[in-house]
Amino acid sequence: MRKISHFIDGKIYTNSKLETSPVFNPATGEQIAEVELADTETTKLAINSSVKAQVTWSKTTPIARSRILSKYKDLLIKNHENLAKAVSQEHGKTIPDAKGSVQRGIEVVEFAIGIPELLKGDHSANVGTNVDSFNMRQPIGVCAGITPFNFPAMVPMWMYPVAIACGNTFVLKPSEKDPTCPIMLAELAIEAGFPKGVLNVVNGNKVSVDALLEDQNVKAISFVGSSPVAEYIYHTGTKNNKRVQALGGAKNHMIVMPDADIAKTTDAIIGSAFGSAGERCMAISVAVCVGKETSEKLKENLLKETAKLKVGPYTDENSDYGPLNTKAHYEKVLNYISIGEKEGAKLIMDGRKIKLQGYENGYFLGPCIFDDVKPNMAIYKEEIFGPVLSIVNVEKYNEALKLVDDHELGNGAAIFTKSGNIAKHFTENAQAGMVGVNVPIPVPVAYHSFGGWKKSLYGDHAMHGPEGVRFYTKLKTATITWVEDNAGPEFTLPVLS
């Protein structure tokens, strides 16, 4: 049985005394590896390695850090397929989906390569008589990232490239469900020229998470996951005097206006609701139809086009999406579907009937669509994180917008319309951190920042982009004058008349 350990101080670190957890192939339900779970002592080894590396790395010039990041980017591109395959084997994503997620991570590295420009401060001359003032951004120390199972390459790369570019060192605690790719990312970092200890990886569970949250050498915590855990990470981290950005769950709405192009809207909903088996925080899980005619047209198209989707393993290049990641999560999503039926929503497409020959023990679930969903239902209020779409019917745009605004999760929202006035109003007024107009998954590019509102984000900074640089640095302002000039007579300034 293949064993996955940790990456500490520039090399693989293993300890046979540590507990292990199984790693499954979600397409077959078979165990394919086991991963060591770090205890507090192992986590502290990684932290101490980063503390030691921080002394030198923080003094390395931004341009030198940039050049190593550039080499790292080249290695990531060279190993793109291998990284994607590791993601697919343990997560279940199709290869194209996995490749896309790795590419998104690489784009953050490309952004971080520009760190010499990003760290430039502001300067004001003569704020007083012979007094100048300027500011600078300096690294904050050892940073840590706690990342989810759904994007084992992309989400870690939202964090550590920017943190490291800013002069910090980093301890990554990825999901124990799909731990191979993060180890590969760390190995490539050493190959690119990063000093040992600049990036460490510890696999583990709550024990290692709490060790990172409590250790006083860790100055900042980045997290992506569910809202209850995000809230725990935020309050525990800040209680221990850490800077925290904790991204939580989502219930992303798409408002479909009467003037929307139904064919394009249908394609957009299918890709965003069912792609990656719905296991992404930017998935559209609620379609809000404005007007009865809009609803009827959309449902007719959705049922016809969704029926064409092929659900299967990543090894089948014709698969549109793969299985859910774990048996426990598969059963959780099935339970939500049962709850929706009991609550009175109409299940107009039931993906539970799917059966794949040779993959009977896999965690496959076909597309599920509920109609007549009400805001008081659990399937509307809670994040399901699976290929389940809820349709809510309203009469007016204002009612649709109110649904977006009233939901406690404000990660993302979209609207499909041909009206510039409606689009402008929605963009300016929707209570969500990321909005799209005729764009179903409004994920910001790497040089903008990713983050929601309300219970979708705990903390004051979104991830990557300019907000990422601000999160991973502390601001220092200098005010300078000289009482006397000791340069010598040959450097005497001319007398101005």
**Positions marked catalytic:** 281
Nearest-angstrom CA–CA distance, 183 and 252: 32
| Integer CA distances (angstroms), 178 to 83, 181, 292, 301, 324, in order | 12, 7, 44, 36, 13
Does the CA dihedral 325-329-331-334 come out positive or negative? Answer: negative
- Under a CB-based contact definition with an 8 Å cutoff, are residues 298 and 350 in contact? no
Buried b (16+ CB within 10 A) or exposed e, 30-49: eeebbbbbbbeebbbbbbbb
Does the CA dihedral 202-204-209-214 come out positive or negative? Answer: negative
Q: Residue 359 half-sphere exposure, CB side, CA atoms within 13 Å?
A: 21
Q: What is the DSSP string of 337-401?
A: HHHHHHHT-EEEE-GGG---TT-TTS-----EEEES--TTSHHHHS---SSEEEEEEESSHHHHH
- The number of residues making up the chain comes to 497
- Under a CB-based contact definition with an 8 Å cutoff, are residues 171 and 186 in contact? no
